[in-house]
Structure formats: structure tokens, C-alpha cells
Amino acid sequence: MDGAFAGPDRKWRDSIYSSGWRKLGSTIDVISPGSGEAIDRVGAATGQEAAEAAAKAAAAQPGWAALPYDDRARLFRKAAGLLEGRMQDYAGIIMAESGSGFGKAMFELSVAVRLLYEAAAMPTQSPGLVLPSQPGRISLCRRQPLGVVGVISPFNFPFYLSMRAVAPALAIGNAVVLKPDPRTSVSGGMLIASLFDDAGLPADVLHVLPGGGDVGAALCTDPHVAMIQFTGSTRTGRLIGKLAGEHLKKVSLELGGKNSLIVLDDADLDLAASNAAWGAYLHQGQICMTAGRILVQSSIIEPFTERLAKKARDLGAGEGDHAFGPLINQPQLAHADDVVRRTVDAGAKLLVGGGTNGLVYPPTVLTGVTPDMPAFREEIFGPVAVITPFADDAEAVRLANDTEYGLSAGIISKSVGRAMAVGERLHVGLLHINDQTVNDEVLNPFGGRGISGNGTSIGGPANWDEFSQWQWVTIKDSAPAYPF
Ligand code: NAD
């Protein structure tokens, strides 16, 4: 067993977390993309466990919501403190299970600590209004928990992307059933169950069910589940939206992206190349906000491309902290390689990279990419910098908006006013002036336009909208007499 997974406290072995740790006969192997080896096993839930978990969560939720607010707040502070003490251990697990680098794993965990402290502040917030009303009547509206929230999460930032829904949903007084991606059942699920279990979360308020799409689909149709919060691909998001919509559930969909980093001709070229490399290659490009298009003004495209190509070569040859990790699995690698090949066949130039080494796809640079080519249009989810020239600011806007996605955009320029004028015209949910496209600070609402989502946001001030609903309450001293 991999070192990161060894030890007596790995309670999740062959288990799901539903009314505590429960061993199941059917299991999922945890495969390390780095070594290709099975490093652990967790229980494999089915639709039946999903139904049981949802019913138990529904029964436990009112008691959880009724706890004194300070008891709930204390639990999140405790979980945050526990996580701070476990970061090295958990980072080892995230790295072994998901192919993450150490820096990315620690970043993921450190934002999750902040998220838990933010969640700890939610039970003591006062989300309600006193409304004008008839004389003698008190009228108020208040936010109430939804009940049971089903969370379905992806593999790429497994711990954070599960936690960003689980923590605020619980903090508001919901119960949660979490189904992590089966490729990252431990990082995206079992570590979260362990943390809340050790922090003293009451029984049955949280359930974690490793499993495939069938378990997610079961949550989408279950009568005990009030809301589905899904983060993942647009393809799956459409299925979930349809299923959950048919069953009249609230649905939050945080989906894919084809994000543009725009480099204007007055940009500092070294900084622009650094931003492009970070945006395109962080976590091997497996991020929804990855800079999937790098739009560069024609007059600076040569010196910019030289700088980015050097960074790509250096990173590909890097070791230690800057070692370049594997993609999550073979189908993902085959997909990235296929998009690159089809784009080269269509006339683009493969300047750096291409080819594979195990599950490692090297940092790659494609130049001369035009809007009709696959790499311009398709989400690659691999480490490929796709460079497209533009003549002027109007063309940069046109190219950046030439996609159905609308998640993130970054603009690099020495003129903030000019960059803002470009940014104002982009159809995105996340806009960064003088930064690359991959950003999340926990405090910000996070959500996309177009096929990057369904108009919802998660994070910061959006969490109350997301995980609660209004109740209107009126109070009179005595009931009135009506005409009949
Ligand atoms: P995916 O859609 O294949 O899987 C995501 C989750 O959905 C997994 O837990 C999976 O088991 C589950 N699932 C699969 N089929 C299902 C079904 N029919 N019913 C219910 N659940 C089902 O996602 P992926 O392709 O592995 O992840 C990468 C995608 O996620 C990319 O497109 C990326 O852009 C997107 N993503 C978006 C965000 C965001 O915040 N917008 C963040 C990270 C990743």
C-alpha cells in the first residue's frame, strides 16, 4: 500500500460513510495515476445505499438545524483546526490518488481551511428581513435550509470542490449526501467524512458514497433530496439538470470552460508568458478555469511565444517541486492527444510537446490555431497552450466570445482602462484584469455563463442563495374575522 495510505486511522478501507463507517462487499480500487497501482480500496455504493442515505439524512436534518447556532459554528472551527494539523498527511493522499503536485495539493487544502472558517461564520449570520405590512401584523422573511443536499463532485480539485459545497450546505443547517468522483473517492470524499466525523458532526447529517454515475443519478431522483449541487463536465451537467429538473429539485451546475487569456500588445512579455504558463499548465491543465485559449496581439506574438515555449520545455524537463505530473487516466490522456493531433492535421504547428510518457502528457504549445480548429473549440483538460493571434481589441473580444462556454477570462496589459474596456464585453462569470484565468479565493461568488453553468454561483455571498430558500412568516396577535 502507498505510504500516504498506510496507517491504522484509514477507516474508509472497503467502506462507505453512512451511519458511520460501513464495510460493503463490493469495493472500488483506488488507483494512483503516478504508478498505475492500486493503493487502497473503498466501498462501492449503489442506488440502494443512496436511497438509504438520503432517507437517513432527511430524518437527521431537522435536529441538526435546530442545534444552537454556536454549537454548529464550533464544529466548523474544530474541523478547520483539525484540517490545519492534517495538511501534510492529506496532501500526500491527494498527490498519490490524483496525480497532483505538492504545491497544488497544499493550495487546495489551505483554501479548504479558509472555507471551513468562513462556514463557521454562517450559523451566526442573520439572513432575513423585516417587511412592511398591514398594521398589527409582523411580516418577515428568512432563509431556511433546503433539507438534504446531494453533492456530486469531480476529480481534479477533489477535496476543495467537494468541500466548497459540503461545508456551507451543512453550516446553513442542511444534511448532505456526497458522491465524489470514483477516481478520487478518498480525497474527494473519505477525507471529508473523517474530518467531520472527528469534529463531532451528529450521526447521519453527512453521508459519503463512493460510486459511479448511477449513484449520482439516484440522488437526482430521490424524493428526500431537495437540491443537487454538481461540479463536473457540461455533458454530465446536462443529464443531471434534466433528471433533477424533472423531479423538481433545485439544481446548481458548475461546468466546463474554454477560457481565454488575452495578451494585449502593451503587456510585459515576461509576465504575460508566466501567466500563460501558469494558466495553461497548472495541475496539467485539468482545471475548469484553465487558460484553454491564449489570444495574443499579432505584433508581439513571436517574442511572447518564444518565452512561453521556453517555459513549457523547462517545465517538461523539471524535477522535484516542479516535476510535471500525470493526467488522471488513460481516456483523459487519449482525449488530450486526440485534440492536439486533429488540430495539427487541420494546419496548426506543434511547437513544443505532444507525445506521451505513461500518463504524463508534456507541456505543449500549439501555434497558428484558428477558430475552426478543434483545440480552439474543445475543452482539452490537458496541458496544452493554444495560441491564436488577433489584430486589435475588437477582434480579441470576438475571439474570446466565440464559444458556448463562459467561465473565466484574463487580460494582461499595462493599461488597466484598456483591459477593462475589453473585459466589459466578455461573456464570463469570472473576469481577471492583469491575472490569468485560474483563480478562486473562497470569498468570491464562482459561476459561469452559457454552457459553463445554469446561472448559479457558489462561494462567498452566493452560498446563502445556493443552499437555502426563503420562507415568508407573518404574525398577528389574533386571527382576523373574514367576510365569509
Ligand atoms: P464528469 O462530469 O465526468 O464527472 C463529474 C461527477 O459526475 C463524478 O462524480 C461522476 O461520477 C459523476 N457522474 C458521471 N455521470 C453521471 C450521471 N449520469 N449522473 C450523475 N452523476 C454522474 O466530470 P469530469 O469530466 O471527470 O470532470 C472534469 C469536468 O469538470 C471538466 O469539464 C471541468 O471543466 C469541469 N469542472 C468544472 C468546475 C467548475 O467549478 N465550473 C470545477 C472543476 C471541474
Please list the pLDDT of the chain residue by residue as tens digits (484 residues): 555 666 556 899 999 999 999 999 999 999 999 899 999 999 999 999 999 999 999 999 999 999 999 999 999 999 999 999 999 999 999 999 999 999 999 999 999 999 999 999 999 997 899 999 999 999 999 999 999 999 999 999 999 999 999 999 999 999 999 999 999 999 999 999 999 999 999 999 999 999 999 999 999 999 999 999 999 999 999 999 999 999 999 999 999 999 999 999 999 999 999 999 999 999 999 999 999 999 999 999 999 999 999 999 999 887 666 668 999 999 999 999 999 999 999 999 999 999 888 899 999 999 999 999 999 999 999 999 999 999 999 999 999 999 999 999 999 999 999 999 999 999 999 999 999 999 999 999 999 999 999 999 999 999 999 999 999 999 999 999 999 9
Pocket test of ligand 1: the residue of 152, 160, 403 to mutate, having most ligand atoms within 8 Å of its CB, is 152
Burial grade of 319 (CB within 10 A; 0-12, 13-18, 19 or more): exposed
| Triad 370, 372, 377: Cα angle to 5° | 90
Specify the pLDDT at position 126.
Answer: 79
pTM over 0.85: yes
Q: Classify 179 as helix, strand or coil.
A: strand
Pocket test of ligand 1: the residue of 184, 236, 452 to mutate, having most ligand atoms within 8 Å of its CB, is 236
DSSP 127: -
Burial grade of 92 (CB within 10 A; 0-12, 13-18, 19 or more): middle
DSSP 322: G
* CA nearest ligand 1 atom 8, residue: 181
Beta-strand relationship, 175-179 and 206-208 = parallel
Specify the pLDDT at position 318.
Answer: 77
Specify the pLDDT at position 316.
Answer: 86
Rounded Cα gap, residues 199 and 74, in angstroms: 9
Contacts 24+ apart (CB under 8 A), 336-341: 336/285, 336/361, 336/380, 336/381, 336/382, 336/383, 336/384, 337/361, 337/382, 339/374, 339/375, 339/378, 339/380, 339/382, 339/384, 340/364, 340/366, 340/375, 340/380, 340/384
Beta-strand relationship, 21-23 and 15-17 = antiparallel
Rounded Cα gap, residues 173 and 167, in angstroms: 10
Specify the pLDDT at position 3.
Answer: 56
Q: Which atom of ligand 1 is nearest to the CA of 407?
A: 41
| Strand extents, DSSP E, 180-297 | 206-208, 227-231, 250-254, 259-263, 291-297
Q: Which residues line the pocket of ligand 1, CB cutoff 6 A?
A: 152-156, 161, 179, 181-182, 212-213, 216-217, 231-233, 236, 239-240, 254-257, 288, 379, 381, 407, 448
Q: Which atom of ligand 1 is nearest to the CA of 379?
A: 32
CB 405 within 8 A of CB 258: yes
Specify the pLDDT at position 10.
Answer: 85
* CA nearest ligand 1 atom 10, residue: 181
Rounded Cα gap, residues 273 and 278, in angstroms: 9
Q: Which residue has the cell 475589453?
A: 422
- Cell of residue 436, nine digits: 490569468
Specify the pLDDT at position 4.
Answer: 62
Specify the pLDDT at position 7.
Answer: 56
Catalytic residue numbers?
A: 254, 288
